[in-house]
Amino acid sequence: MLKRFHLENHKYMKTIQFREAIAEAMSEEMRRDESIYLMGEEVAEYNGAYKASKGMLDEFGPRRVIDTPISELGFAGVGVGSAMNGNRPIIEFMTFNFALVGIDQIINNAAKIRQMSGGQFDCPIVFRGPTASAGQLAATHSQAFESWYANCPGLKVVVPSNPRDAKGLLKSAIRDNDPVIFMESEQMYGDKGEVPEDEYTIPLGVAEVKREGKDVTIVSFGKIIKEAYKAADELEKEGIQCEIIDLRTVKPMDTEAILASVKKTNRLVILEEAWPFGNVATEITYQVQQKAFDYLDAPIAKINTADTPAPYSPVLLEEWLPNHEDVIRAVKKVMYK
């Protein structure tokens, strides 16, 4: 049965920005557990490159909110070593594009140390920061690596799309005893949304149906899911009801939630901001055709970026990035309209 997080369970709600939800999650967990600390470039004195750690240095001091040199390999390694020795670090990358400098620590140490030590060491660490494109930042600052990290056994990969999910999922990620890749978006830090005022967490590995529908299933995650919402609003005017599933956690993936929806709608469109070859949408496509082939009334459609580095030109960038019109065309194609 599809699990859901019910807002009605929370009496009091407040409206805050995405960056505030991130800061609240980290601060609440740091108050609860003294082994948690935040480390990264400009997280302390500058209050975070995107102000996602605003006020945390004043509250927790320089021993627990730590500015680092521009050396991702170095501070990622420090984080992994301290996690093996009883701490629960949160490592912020200014962008996951820069995490490529420290990926050896993530892939070869954090993801593997429990197995290679025969269970003697846990690695409870969160690597967090922005993912994917954020406007005209050019090719080396506009990459989505969710499928790269999800491909590596030992890592969990989380990509929230709104403040409420971001806070609940980040608290769960910090408490998890495995390394978690927590990917945000520069273009979402200012987004506002309702968040419960009381304590809550959202379990990792559980997707959510954000919009009920009977005609077609749209699966997405992260900031690009907004294009699915726009498309669904337009399609509803034509009498087409879209069911939208937000993965929230890419790995472990809530395949059962996707299958349950496809068995109801019999059609599937997957929207992902990533290059088209060997991505999250590819895995979803395989899982659905393997486990629900007889329920499909049309081939699965997946929507990705163009198979090129992200262009700097605003005109080319608009063509490169998926949008709601692409979703509308894909939905109509699987419905033979």
Give the pLDDT confidence score for residue 53 in this predicted structure. Answer: 98
In this model, does residue 109 exceed pLDDT 50?
yes
Give the pLDDT confidence score for residue 217 in this predicted structure. Answer: 98
Give the pLDDT confidence score for residue 48 in this predicted structure. Answer: 97
CA-nearest of 9, 13, 75 to 41 is: 75
- Write down the mean pLDDT value for the chain: 96
Instruction: State the pTM of this model.
Output: 0.95
Longest dimension (CA), the chain: 60
Give the pLDDT confidence score for residue 7 in this predicted structure. Answer: 53
Give the pLDDT confidence score for residue 11 in this predicted structure. Answer: 72
Provide the percentage of residues in the chain whose pLDDT is more than 90.
96
Does 324 participate in catalysis according to the annotation?
no
Alpha-carbon dihedral of residues 230, 233, 236, 242, nearest 10 degrees?
Answer: 60
Give the pLDDT confidence score for residue 9 in this predicted structure. Answer: 65
In this model, does residue 119 exceed pLDDT 80?
yes
Q: Out of 20, 24, 41, 72, pick the active-site residue.
A: 72
Q: Out of 24, 29, 41, 141, pick the active-site residue.
A: 141
Q: Where are the alpha helices (DSSP H) in the chain?
A: 18-32, 56-60, 72-84, 103-104, 113-116, 146-150, 163-175, 225-236, 255-265, 280-291, 314-320, 324-334
Does 28 participate in catalysis according to the annotation?
no
d(CA 43, CA 56): 9
Among all chains, which residue has been given the structure tokens 């025969």? 118
In this model, does residue 99 exceed pLDDT 80?
yes
Q: What is the pLDDT of residues 37-54, one digit of tens each?
A: 999 999 999 999 999 999
Calculate mean pLDDT across residues 63-73. 98
Give the pLDDT confidence score for residue 221 in this predicted structure. Answer: 98
In this model, does residue 332 exceed pLDDT 90?
yes
Q: Is the dihedral of CA 128, 179, 36, 166 positive or negative?
A: positive
Q: Is the dihedral of CA 123, 175, 284, 309 positive or negative?
A: negative
Query: Phi/psi at 198 (nearest 5 deg)?
Result: -90, 175
For Cα atoms 167, 170, 172, give the angle at the middle one, nearest 5 degrees.
110
Q: What is the band of 5 on the pLDDT scale with cuts at 50, 70, 90?
A: very low
Residue 85 has which token pair?
């020795």
